[in-house]
Chain A
């Protein structure tokens, strides 16, 4: 039987190589394209009527908008409004990517560490630049909150600096590991169902419950990613 991690293997659909760099259009890229088209279609088609009393689709689009708008307002405050489009895009991209990955035989692009790391590192860079731009050198008080006894500095500053620079890693690994572990687990239970013959009904029943749990995790991780982005933005805008 195939190894449970084989599902994450990239297949290149359109081989392309520019100057020794492999730029092939892979299954991961295909699903990212589908996700972008899906999100765009979801938002534009459901809002096409623009009725005062929303229908089912329109209220779904409005709810996701309101959800993120509230999140940004509560966590970042009114200065965060200009970053709202970014957070909404990020949230919907990850949410649709995670949920589409739950379709059998679909490819979950968030289970690739490079995809999540690219997003997390972009956020990290952007937050640092925003903080430096808004506060100048004052930004570095983020590592040493005011009012702390000076004797604590040698302990506190290294801890704060490390926890700041670990952010892109923890943010990306959290999403990636959740997706990878979930899909691996489902594959392992699927393998049990095949191996156990008639008794395989039990793992299949468990698999149904696991699928529900994975859908919950898919939504939750998109939420957590957007939420942490808001918190990082809040740190950069308001310092401590």
Chain B
């Protein structure tokens, strides 16, 4: 196989990790919604933690993206 096409396939494979991140972000927001539904008074406090969790999980997606960029452009 040529190096160029192998790189393309590798970059595609690297972003499969996004599936896990999708599950993770969905999980965070589903728990956020259910916890706010159970106790609406806690909204302000829980929302900040939820957003923090979202940002930390989203970063994992970007690590995968970064690996795929590294494969493509170096």
Q: Which residues of A contact B (CB under 8 A)?
A: 5, 170, 173-174, 177-178, 180-181, 184, 220-221, 223-224, 227
CB-defined A-B contacts under 8 Å, sample of 26:
A5-B73, A173-B59, A173-B62, A173-B63, A173-B66, A174-B56, A174-B59, A174-B62, A177-B59, A177-B62, A177-B63, A177-B65, A178-B58, A178-B59, A181-B62, A181-B65, A181-B66, A184-B69, A220-B51, A220-B55, A221-B55, A223-B52, A223-B55, A224-B52, A224-B55, A224-B56
Query: How far, in whole Å, are A180 and B63 apart by their CA atoms in the complex?
Result: 11
Instruction: Please name all residues of chain B whose beta carbon is closer than 8 Å to the beta carbon of A5 when the two chains form the complex.
Output: 69, 73
Instruction: Please name all residues of chain B whose beta carbon is closer than 8 Å to the beta carbon of A221 when the two chains form the complex.
Output: 55
Instruction: Please name all residues of chain B whose beta carbon is closer than 8 Å to the beta carbon of A224 when the two chains form the complex.
Output: 52, 55-56
Instruction: Please name all residues of chain B whose beta carbon is closer than 8 Å to the beta carbon of A177 when the two chains form the complex.
Output: 59, 62-63, 65-66
Query: How far, in whole Å, are A223 and B47 apart by their CA atoms in the complex?
Result: 14
Query: How far, in whole Å, are A223 and B55 apart by their CA atoms in the complex?
Result: 10
Question: Which of chain B's residues 32-74 have a Cβ closer than 8 Å to chain A?
Answer: 51-52, 55-56, 58-59, 62-63, 65-66, 69, 73
Cβ-closest chain B residue relative to A225 = B55
Chain A: minimal CB distance from B54 (Å): 8
Instruction: Please name all residues of chain A whose beta carbon is closer than 8 Å to the beta carbon of B52 when the two chains form the complex.
Output: 223-224, 227
Instruction: Please name all residues of chain A whose beta carbon is closer than 8 Å to the beta carbon of B65 when the two chains form the complex.
Output: 177, 181
Chain A: minimal CB distance from B23 (Å): 19
Instruction: Please name all residues of chain B whose beta carbon is closer than 8 Å to the beta carbon of A181 when the two chains form the complex.
Output: 62, 65-66
